[in-house]
Structure 1
Amino acid sequence: MPRRSLPLLLLLAASLAGCDAFYDAIGLNDAKKAEAEAKAIGAACRHAGRSLEDCYALNPNASKAAIFEGWREMNDYMLQNNLREVPPVFAPTEPLKRSQPIIPKAENVPGPSVPATPAPAAPGR
């Protein structure tokens, strides 16, 4: 490579450093876009009054950390400005699939295997 082309190459690299096409070429914009979308999803879930768990279940491919960050930022904003949730108009197309319910039913809660008996009274009292 001739020495004359080195300054030209450095000038070209410096000019592309601020260009979105440069970041697209090396794949950085995709990561930034995905994180921004996940934050927007989290904020929308909070605004709609959805729980984080439901938001995660409805968006399994989005970053959970970014969803939480967007949800938390929207929660802080809503508290500061006394905003209420806006219930979603559209229900999810598929029901949420969970392996176990968050709150178990009373009959599924394990109880004591031996019936409870009152403790004997202490002697002399």
Structure 2
Amino acid sequence: MLRRSLPLLLLLAASLSGCDAFYDAIGLNDAKKAEAEARAIGAACRHAGRSLEDCYALNPNASKSAIFEGWREMNDYMLQNNLREVPPVFVPTEPLKRSQPIIPKPESAPGAPAPGTPPPTTAPLGR
């Protein structure tokens, strides 16, 4: 029985291998789409003159390696064709949500007041 159905199974697998439904069924299209989107994000960041770190921070769920690939490809393209950056118009209206800040806050020197505290007041002398 298996010998009779093996050619049929191979024919079915070969016919479905070029079909998007086959890739959707095994989850490959999602991965390809996510990588292509991350590469496009990286290219757009480079074209807008954004740094890689800013691009990573603005897109925390995208693959960093794919963002870098898109950024690098766009950089090479822009250098070859003498293209300038297009300044970004979008400015985030709310703070980005992330677990740690990109730039750590500087620690205050020993004996220095904590940042944001008012300086100590002193009583005038001679009164």
TM-score norm. by structure 2 comes to: 0.74
Q: Match of 1:84? A: 84
For 1:109 and 1:41, the matched residues in 2 are separated by: 37
Q: 1:18 to 1:67 in 2, by over 3 A?
A: same
Give the superposition deviation at 1:47. 0.4
Aligned to 1:115: none
Query: Structure 1 vs Structure 2: percent identity of aligned residues?
Result: 85
Structure 2: how far apart are the matches of 1:50 and 1:73?
A: 14
User: Which residue is equivalent to 1:10?
Assistant: 10
Distance 1:109 1:85 in 2: 38
Amino acid of the structure 2 residue aligned with 1:9: L
Deviation for aligned residue 1:66 = 0.5
Q: Which runs of structure 2 are paired with 1:67-106 in the superposition (5 Å)?
A: 67-96=67-96, 99=101, 101=103
* CA deviation string 1:78-123 (max 9, x = no partner): 0111101101122123335662537x87xx697xxxxxxxxxxxxx
Question: Structure 1 pair 4/88, CA: closer, same or farther in 2 (3 Å)?
Answer: same
Q: Which runs of 5+ in 2 are unaligned?
A: 110-127
Spell out the pairing of 1:14-93 with structure 2 (5 A cutoff).
14-93=14-93
4+ long deviations beyond 3 Å: 95-98
Query: Counterpart of 1:101 in structure 2: which amino acid?
Result: I
Q: What SS is found at the alignment partner of 1:94?
A: coil
1:14-51 CA-partner distances (Å, limit 9, x unpaired): 11111111011000111111000000000000000111
Q: Hey, what's the Cα distance between the residues in 2 that align with 1:59 and 1:39?
A: 12
Aligned residues: 107
TM-score if structure 1 supplies the norm length? 0.75
Distance 2:43 2:108 in 1: 34
Distance 2:11 2:94 in 1: 53
Give me the CA root mean square deviation. Answer: 2.2
Structure 2 counterpart of 1:17, one-letter code: S
Say if 1:36 and 1:100 are closer, same or farther in 2 by CA, change over 3 A: closer
For 1:4, what is the secondary structure of its paired residue? helix
